Amino acid sequence: MSQKSLRLIIFALVSVGTMGSPNFVLSATDQELIEEITVSATRAEKSIHEIPMAVTVIESKNIHKGRQKIGLDESLNRSPGIFSQNRYNFAQDLRIAIRGFGARANFGIRGIKIFSDGIPATLADGQSGVDDIDLNILERIEVLRGPSSSLYGSSSGGVINLITQDGPSTPFAETGFTLGAYDQERYFFKAGGQTNQINYYASASKLKYGGYRENSETESTQLNSKIRYNFDSDSHLSLILNLVDSPLANDAGGITLNDVAQDRRQAQVRNVSSNAGEKIDQQRIGLVYQRTLNDESEITVRNYYLWRDFSAFLPIGTHIPFVSDDGVVEFNRFFWGGGIQWNKNSYLFELPYRLVTGIDIDIQKDDRRRYLNEAGQKGALSFDQLEQAESYGVFFQNELDLTDSITVAAGLRYDHVKLAVDDKYLDNANQSAELQFNKFSPSVSLIWVVQPKHSLYLNFATSFETPTFTELANPARNMTTSLGGFNNVAAQQARSIEVGLKSNFFDNKLYLDIAAFSMKVDDEITSVSNIGNRSFFENADTKRQGIEIYSQLSINENITGTLAYTYSNFKFDYFGETTAYVGNQLPGIPNNYFFAELELSTESGLYFAADIVYSGKLQANNANSISSSASTIVNLRTSYNYSIGSWQIEPTFGINNIFNKDYFSNVRLNGFGGRLFEPGPRRNIYGGLTLHLNF
């Protein structure tokens, strides 16, 4: 672990240690679901029935109860409109798509904005990651499904807002472990509370996982801390700290269908010989200040800094003609920024309105180098450039209540994004370059709250997305080393029309959310080829139509059923000179995706849940010439919370893929040589124990 990490760890421990002796209290995972769901991801907290767009809120119980907590998608599966892959390949990170935004990426996350406690997990160039998210500390997840650039700027095809736990009024501590198949070990400790004007929370966790496939081991340690100082009843300042040390995350790679038939647990041969995998050392610190100015307005100011040291060995084969084997990637990243937001509630011509306006600034600097991968050893330098992304945004949104039940909302945002590279490797000439993007993103919507628990809405929204530095990389065609500079990829733009219904029935026992949308995406950033196992991109146009249904039924106080269904009809509308692809399905997204869950809880503390996840046929390339078949996976989990004196003890047990089905946890798009498929684990079990102590 780096000296920066050690200094921040000491700072966090000292901060928490000075807050007073921690008492213990039952975790927030046992709180009841609230009847009135509120959402803050729209930059202004409001009831879910008052939001004129598709929103899913995932509460604490559905994040924690009996979960294995290997991937964020364990919870995200219950939201329609989201499709996730790659839970078991930690070297590639979780792949998340919302309405197709993000589907193109073979690693990491594109096209959607992710925030954690108001601090962005999305870089200035648009790439996101969740390898620094500790699932054990999440309190709730809010998902905005669909274009949101009028609120959040570039790469806002959807928004995931992660909110971590606060310290309760009575201090607490909690510790536990989970052991599972394929040498899984997960240990954690967390504590928090309230002392006078200070609310504090700290968590430490460690994950070790041998992996289902060869060469898929991972190891990661995280430390998180959140401290809030309440100056008075109207203002407070939060300090947020996150440290990640992941010295091991191997990549088993994609294999062909023939390889799968022979041995689904094998790794790609080149991945083993190239020592494919990555390691990360990251520190992030954020400050969020909130103040109520008067009865009508409040202000929020945020500031953050992130340092990330990254190195990876990629499976680049020297036997590929005209392609450099520069398969060792290293970069040192500094990402910082901030923003200010002003919320005001007042009247215009005696009509109530709610105004949100502000400024966002995000700046990213990557010192990136590549070296030859010589049979898994780092060789000579072959690429060296300094990459800088700057994003500046000004946004404005206003909601006006025309009547007691009808509200019209309009938003507009202007973004300036600059991407620049300073080429330091001059053996193949100076490839330094700069690109600038300037974009206005409007939105307008109408919502009719028929009754307090029934609402209809109509929404027109836009988004735009700049290519990331990775997607702007020059193909290494006919070169002995990779080019620096930029490939010719334009920013993509989307226009969406959406209608939706949100209703509660039968005394709030049934909640129903239905959304239908039609979207046109121009210059969609599309993966078109893989050279030496590195993806390269061009632009295409797509049309998207979809239907999303979410329903939750409380049969009684102890039994709850949840259903989420997504229909996606996403097709290429234009593909340059490759006219044969026009009309083909967008790869990486199934036409049909279905999640259903039945939960049972008793007053004695027993909890049981069974869920089923169905994923339809998925196209693996732009030509639609190869695909993965549909899959249906059933999972079970249970826990039992009981008391012994002052202790709360909760054992957990789960079975994944109970019917032992074959399926793919990830499909790599447009992969070279048909090496597209990453098989998922067959039936496997896990179990754990959590301890709470109350004083």
C-beta of residue 664 within 8 angstroms of C-beta of residue 628 = yes
Q: What pLDDT score does 475 carry?
A: 56
- pTM, whole model, 2 decimals? 0.91
- What is the C-alpha separation between 517 and 458, in angstroms, rounded? 10
The closest of 206, 177, 210, 207 to 687, measured between CA atoms, is 177
CB-count burial class (<10 Å; 0-12, 13-18, 19+) for 261: exposed
Q: What pLDDT score does 530 carry?
A: 63
Q: What pLDDT score does 596 carry?
A: 98
Q: What pLDDT score does 271 carry?
A: 92
- What is the C-alpha separation between 442 and 589, in angstroms, rounded? 27
Q: How far is CA 272 from the centre of its chain?
A: 28
No. of helices (H) and no. of strands (E), the chain: 6, 36
Residue 336 in tokens? 């910082």
pLDDT beneath 70, residues of the chain: 1-36, 317-325, 474-485, 529-535
Whose tokens are 């330094």? That residue is 432
Question: Across 21-134, where does the E strand assignment appear?
Answer: 38-39, 46-47, 54-58, 82-85, 95-98, 113-116, 119-120
Q: For residue 81, tell me if it sits in a domain.
A: yes
- What is the C-alpha separation between 463 and 449, in angstroms, rounded? 26
Residue 392 in tokens? 């500046």
Q: What pLDDT score does 477 carry?
A: 41
Q: What pLDDT score does 183 carry?
A: 96
Q: Which residues pair with 304 in a beta bridge?
A: 286, 337
Residue 86 in tokens? 């790659």
The domain spanning residue 79 has which CATH number?
2.40.170.20
- What is the C-alpha separation between 185 and 170, in angstroms, rounded? 30
Q: For residue 300, tell me if it sits in a domain.
A: yes
Q: What pLDDT score does 580 carry?
A: 94
Whose tokens are 């760890």? That residue is 9
- What is the C-alpha separation between 313 and 326, in angstroms, rounded? 9
Q: Is 152 helix (H, G, I), strand (E, B) or coil?
A: helix
- What is the C-alpha separation between 396 and 340, in angstroms, rounded? 12
Contacts of 591 (CB under 8 A, 6+ apart): 567, 568, 569, 585, 616, 617
- What is the C-alpha separation between 680 and 79, in angstroms, rounded? 21
- What is the C-alpha separation between 249 and 242, in angstroms, rounded? 19
Q: What pLDDT score does 4 carry?
A: 52
Q: What pLDDT score does 5 carry?
A: 46
- What is the C-alpha separation between 534 and 470, in angstroms, rounded? 10
Q: For residue 8, tell me if it sits in a domain.
A: yes
Q: For residue 107, tell me if it sits in a domain.
A: yes
Q: For residue 331, tell me if it sits in a domain.
A: no
- What is the C-alpha separation between 629 and 260, in angstroms, rounded? 13
| Residue 157, number of CB atoms within 10 A of its CB | 30
> Which domain, by its residues, includes 220?
3-326+337-475+483-693
Residue 128 in tokens? 């996101």
- What is the C-alpha separation between 401 and 407, in angstroms, rounded? 4
Number of domains the chain contains: 1
Q: For residue 359, tell me if it sits in a domain.
A: yes
- Please, where are the H alpha helices in 18-144? 60-64, 73-76
Query: Residue 442 is which amino acid?
Result: P
- What is the C-alpha separation between 90 and 279, in angstroms, rounded? 10
- What is the C-alpha separation between 100 and 106, in angstroms, rounded? 13
- Please, where are the H alpha helices in 239-398? 257-262, 269-273
Strand 113-116 with 158-164, pairing: parallel
- What is the C-alpha separation between 101 and 195, in angstroms, rounded? 43
- What is the C-alpha separation between 435 and 111, in angstroms, rounded? 19
Q: For residue 332, tell me if it sits in a domain.
A: no
Q: Is 414 helix (H, G, I), strand (E, B) or coil?
A: strand
- What is the C-alpha separation between 17 and 53, in angstroms, rounded? 43
Computed from CA positions of residues 317, 323, 327, 328, in that sequence, does the dihedral angle turn out positive or negative? positive
CB-count burial class (<10 Å; 0-12, 13-18, 19+) for 205: buried
CB-count burial class (<10 Å; 0-12, 13-18, 19+) for 674: middle
Q: For residue 277, tell me if it sits in a domain.
A: yes
Strand 235-250 with 277-292, pairing: antiparallel
